[in-house]
Structure 1
Amino acid sequence: MGLDIIVVMADWTRLARIPAHERLDVLDDTAFPVPWSDADPNALAVAAPDGWVWPPEPAWCARYQFHGTTGSHSFHWRLAAAWADIRQSAAPDLQAALDHFLGALVPEAPDDGPAPAASFPDDPSPWRPDVLLLCAPDEIPGLARAWATAAPRLEELRVPFDAECAGWAGRPASFDAAAALLREWGEVVAGAESRGWGLIGLR
């Protein structure tokens, strides 16, 4: 099955009130009020038509359920690798926008697995291996602007993708699959921006 990325948006003010060494456990307990092994995937899909699964009130975080693609980290890594293959074919403004967007959300993995993200603010631990991405609220508007530039122009990448990546092992199966995952990340960023929250990606 491989490693999945669990994407959570959270109220940074509320998160800051939790002691640093307890944050990941609290996030996990809040984002998964029902243990994952006991959850009904069909019920989750019904509960999250827009991708967001909300815990009981008062809700200060929510988990994104990849509803049209996959949360598999290996698929995200393949998307980053495909972008590296075709980025030189993109117009400069589209290249810059997707470099920023993907660089923050879907970093390429080193040979020994995904790199941990930077630590939370005021966290005495230099890094936490269970955190795959971390975007503070003040980073989200820039990601939203990058996506606003890229979203209407994804079709420009179809021809270079088909020429460079289609059928390659270690790449998304099709341009449409890669674009679908990008659009879901666009939903993630839009959800966080609408609330002024940050994003965390957990193992």
Structure 2
Amino acid sequence: MGLDITVVIADRSWLARVPPRERLPRLRNAWYADAPAGDEGWAWPQGRDSSVFAVYEFPDTLGSFKPHFWAGHRWEPVRDHVAPSLRTELDALLSALVWDGPDGEAEHTDTGFFGEGGRGVVLARSPESVRELAAAWDRARPHLDELHGPFAEHAAVPDGWISDFDAFADLLTQWGDVLTEAARRGWCVVGLSE
């Protein structure tokens, strides 16, 4: 898993001004053209009032997808030991973002988001999908502490970045922040690989 990830939230109407195959280059070109200002993991072109996109840089990941992969990997042995309602919410979140799901077939991109030109996209969620995921996060967030015991007892801990409950909960909380901010703005979420 040597893959890197850059997570971007963006105004879909801004992306929709160009054909689907040109949306990814538009997003990448905008990111490289502006000198974004950083703010608690966020990088905002033209400040926090950016009208088209922002980048979230997960602290302590060095831009690597590996911690996100390990979060999904750690969830697998824990999920059967979690209350069904919480398991449902976390399954929805993780399988939509970084985990391949219980059957290994989870899709991380909404159909047609970037047309056929989606090479380099590891996740793409429409504003509608983001709202649903943010709502799932809101329902799961108050119950994260319930994972502590099952996580400590059942998560296999070979070498990997997500090795304990605190790291897992922290990464999940950061994804929750991304989803919440994107949902508040009515924007999409895109994960780009380098």
* Smaller-chain TM-score bracket: 0.7 to 0.9
Matched, 1:148 2:138: yes
Q: Tell me the equivalent position of 1:181.
A: 171
Q: How does 1:46-195 map to 2 (within 5 A)?
A: 47-56=37-46, 59-67=51-59, 69-108=61-100, 117-121=109-113, 123=115, 125=116, 128-165=118-155, 167-170=157-160, 172-195=162-185
Q: Does structure 1 conserve the Cα–Cα contact (< 8 Å) formed by 2:42 and 2:57?
A: yes
The SS at the match of 1:186 is helix
Q: Deviations over 1:12-31 (max 9, x none)?
A: 11111123222111111212
Deviation at 1:56, TM superposition (A): 3.2
Cα distance in 2 between the residues matched to 1:100 and 1:18? 30
Q: Does structure 2 conserve the Cα–Cα contact (< 8 Å) formed by 1:135 and 1:199?
A: yes
In structure 1, stretches of 5+ residues that fail to align are 110-114
Distance 1:96 1:7, change over 3 A: same
The SS at the match of 1:32 is helix
Calculate the aligned-residue CA RMSD, in Å: 2.6
The SS at the match of 2:175 is helix
Amino acid paired to 1:9: I
Deviation at 1:52, TM superposition (A): 1.8
Q: Tell me the equivalent position of 1:112.
A: none
Deviation at 1:103, TM superposition (A): 1.1
Q: Does structure 1 conserve the Cα–Cα contact (< 8 Å) formed by 2:5 and 2:191?
A: yes
Deviation at 1:170, TM superposition (A): 4.3
Matched, 1:17 2:7: no
TM score, norm. by length of structure 2: 0.85
Amino acid paired to 2:10: A
Cα distance in 2 between the residues matched to 1:92 and 1:56? 43
The SS at the match of 2:190 is strand
Name the % identity.
Answer: 39
Cα distance in 2 between the residues matched to 1:59 and 1:193? 14
Distance 1:148 1:118, change over 3 A: closer
Distance 1:174 1:122, change over 3 A: closer
Q: Tell me the equivalent position of 2:189.
A: 199
Amino acid paired to 1:145: A
TM score, norm. by length of structure 1: 0.81
Cα distance in 2 between the residues matched to 1:149 and 1:70? 29
Cα distance in 1 between the residues matched to 2:188 and 2:180? 11
Cα distance in 2 between the residues matched to 1:129 and 1:174? 33
Q: Does structure 2 conserve the Cα–Cα contact (< 8 Å) formed by 1:144 and 1:193?
A: yes
Q: Does structure 2 conserve the Cα–Cα contact (< 8 Å) formed by 1:8 and 1:31?
A: no
Size of the aligned set, in residue pairs, is: 187
Q: Tell me the equivalent position of 2:5.
A: 5
Cα distance in 1 between the residues matched to 2:113 and 2:158? 40
